[in-house]
Amino acid sequence: MIVIDTSALTAFILKEPGWQSLITYVTNSISIDHIVKEVMNAIWKAQVKGIVSREYAFKLRDILMSLIGKNVVLEPEEKYVDRAFMIAIDNKLPIYDSLHIALAMSKGLPPFNA
């Protein structure tokens, strides 16, 4: 199991170049619960830009939601926000990235990003 971040899950869902290499990671991963909102936002953005159709955007949403809880286990961000804030301040990293790092450190799992 690995800690997956938004960029990796988004690349997989939107079938960005190299998405097939992510299958192994996506099917056995854990992440912070805000990843759902972030990936859905990326799907929305792709639809607004005309990269995907409205209908396909809903299909991508369904694919995302089918992974949640089964292949991608979610952890509540509240459990990691204090540690993540310290990581962010100490390392000049965004809090979003630091949340995934804090989760990885807490679980003793490797982080993965695309």
Give domain limits for the chain: 2-112
Q: Which two tokens stand for residue 28?
A: 């056995």
Q: Which residues contact 24 (CB under 8 A, 6 or more apart)?
A: none
Reported as a single tens digit per residue, the pLDDT across 52-88 is 999 999 999 999 999 999 999 999 999 999 999 999 9
pLDDT value of residue 11: 96
| 2-112: CATH superfamily | 5'-nuclease (3.40.50.1010)
Mean pLDDT of 88-94: 97
pLDDT value of residue 112: 82
pLDDT value of residue 114: 61
pTM (predicted TM-score)? 0.91
Cα–Cα nearest to 108, from 1, 36, 17, 16: 1
Reported as a single tens digit per residue, the pLDDT across 23-47 is 999 999 999 999 999 999 999 999 9
